[in-house]
Amino acid sequence: MSDSRVICLGEALIDCLADQLGVPLSAVTSWTPYPGGAPANVACALAKLGTPVRLVGCVGSDQWGEALLSLLQSRKVDCTYLQHHDQAPTRQVYVLRDQQGSPTFAGFSQPDPTQFADAQLAVDRLNAALFQDAQFLVAGTLGLAYDKTGESIRWAVDYAQTHAIKVVIDVNWRPMFWPQPEIAPATIRQILPAVDFLKLSSDEADWLFDTQEPAAIAQQLDNLQGVLITAGAMGCRYWLAGHTDQFSAFAVDSEDATGAGDAFLAGFLHKLRQGGMAQLEDAIAAQSLIAYASAVAALTTTRPGAIAAQPSAQEVEAFLYLQQSLA
């Protein structure tokens, strides 16, 4: 178990965070760029915690693509299967923030969402070797909006399912990524029968399943081993191998919530990989998994940037010890 790795598949991009809080797009006068993209965020968080991880995606052959590659490699993320596109640029996302730091996605550096490198992940450059020693495949759904990357995601999910690799999907609904947002629910549902763990926000649960009850979602998909429904500062509701419960978020001074959900998922997978799947069968162990994930998410909100703020395993353990002392 300890030698297994996690494969993260999907976008690596640049989040341009508005320097002015609580103002509309037209009133923003300056932006600060931060590396991001949900799969890249999860990969970096896992690596920071000490889990071996490989990122599969596509970036532009531009300054931003080079910056992302440099960062990922510095974080000890395996980038063997990170593709580079000569024509398509690395995606830049404009992110507005309210007074509490909660993000709202407001657009891209180019008007056509299909023209970025992360939409061009070529399936013919993927092969079975990328799954060597893999226990989990983690993918978002944004890549399903695009023909090439969507084909790559479906190939990877099919391969993982047939080779006993656990499939983890983060719904991560962002309408502006989809040229045809109306096809998103049906497109996402096509891959759900292959999924072992499903992570989504409370709003996404309503959007895709008409319920915020994790057990009700598990009943709709009998292949699932876990459903994680996050609600930011309101905490998390979960269903793990038949155990249903909720967990209140840790109270911290939040500066920037960008990437908190990705950090939560990374914390969950790190702890699950460490202790094994048997943790899911015990209600107390299952809640310990969620507490660990919640601590990783909470600490990530205390500094700006989805990746820059991610904690080490030592920081998480110290935080949880302090929380127990205060209880």
Mean pLDDT in residue range 174-180: 95
Mean pLDDT in residue range 293-316: 93
Residue 102, in any domain of the structure = no
pLDDT over 60 at 76, yes or no: yes
Residue 89, in any domain of the structure = no
First to last CA, the chain: 33
Query: What pLDDT does residue 3 have?
Result: 58
* Contact assessment for residue 184 and residue 158, using Cβ atoms and an 8 Å cutoff: no
Domain residues for the domain of 172 are 5-11+37-84+115-326
Query: What pLDDT does residue 326 have?
Result: 72
Q: What is the CATH number of the domain that holds 180?
A: 3.40.1190.20
Render pLDDT for 39-63 as a digit per residue (tens, 0 to 9): 999 999 999 999 999 999 999 999 9
Mean pLDDT in residue range 135-160: 98
pLDDT over 50 at 1, yes or no: no
pLDDT over 90 at 164, yes or no: yes
Residue 169, in any domain of the structure = yes
Residue 30, in any domain of the structure = no
| Pairwise CA distance, residues 197 & 217, whole Å | 11
* Contact assessment for residue 244 and residue 215, using Cβ atoms and an 8 Å cutoff: yes
Query: What pLDDT does residue 327 have?
Result: 58
DSSP 295: H
Based on the structure, what is the number of domains in the chain? Answer: 1
pLDDT over 90 at 217, yes or no: yes
* pLDDT > 90: percent of the chain: 88
pLDDT over 60 at 2, yes or no: no
Residue 285, in any domain of the structure = yes
Query: What pLDDT does residue 108 have?
Result: 95
Element housing 161 (H / E) = helix 147-162
Residue 99, in any domain of the structure = no
Mean pLDDT in residue range 11-39: 93
Residue 95, in any domain of the structure = no
Quickly tell me which residue has 């709202």 as its tokens: 104
* Contact assessment for residue 43 and residue 168, using Cβ atoms and an 8 Å cutoff: no
- Pairing of β 13-18 and β 5-9: unpaired
* Averaged pLDDT score across all residues of the chain: 94
* Contact assessment for residue 262 and residue 42, using Cβ atoms and an 8 Å cutoff: yes
Closest listed residue to residue 40, CA positions, set 87, 86, 63, 74:
74
Q: Residue 229: which residues within 8 A CB-CB, separation 6 or more?
A: 200, 201, 202, 205, 212, 214, 217, 236, 237, 238
- Pairing of β 197-201 and β 92-97: unpaired
Q: Which two tokens stand for residue 239?
A: 């269903």
Q: Which amino acid is at 261?
A: G
Query: What pLDDT does residue 239 have?
Result: 98
| Burial of residue 235, with CB atoms counted within 10 A of its CB: 0-12 exposed, 13-18 middle, 19 or more buried | middle
Q: Which two tokens stand for residue 41?
A: 């965020």
Highest mean pLDDT, choosing among 15-29, 37-51, 90-104: 37-51
Query: What pLDDT does residue 105 have?
Result: 87
Query: What pLDDT does residue 104 have?
Result: 86
Residue 109, in any domain of the structure = no
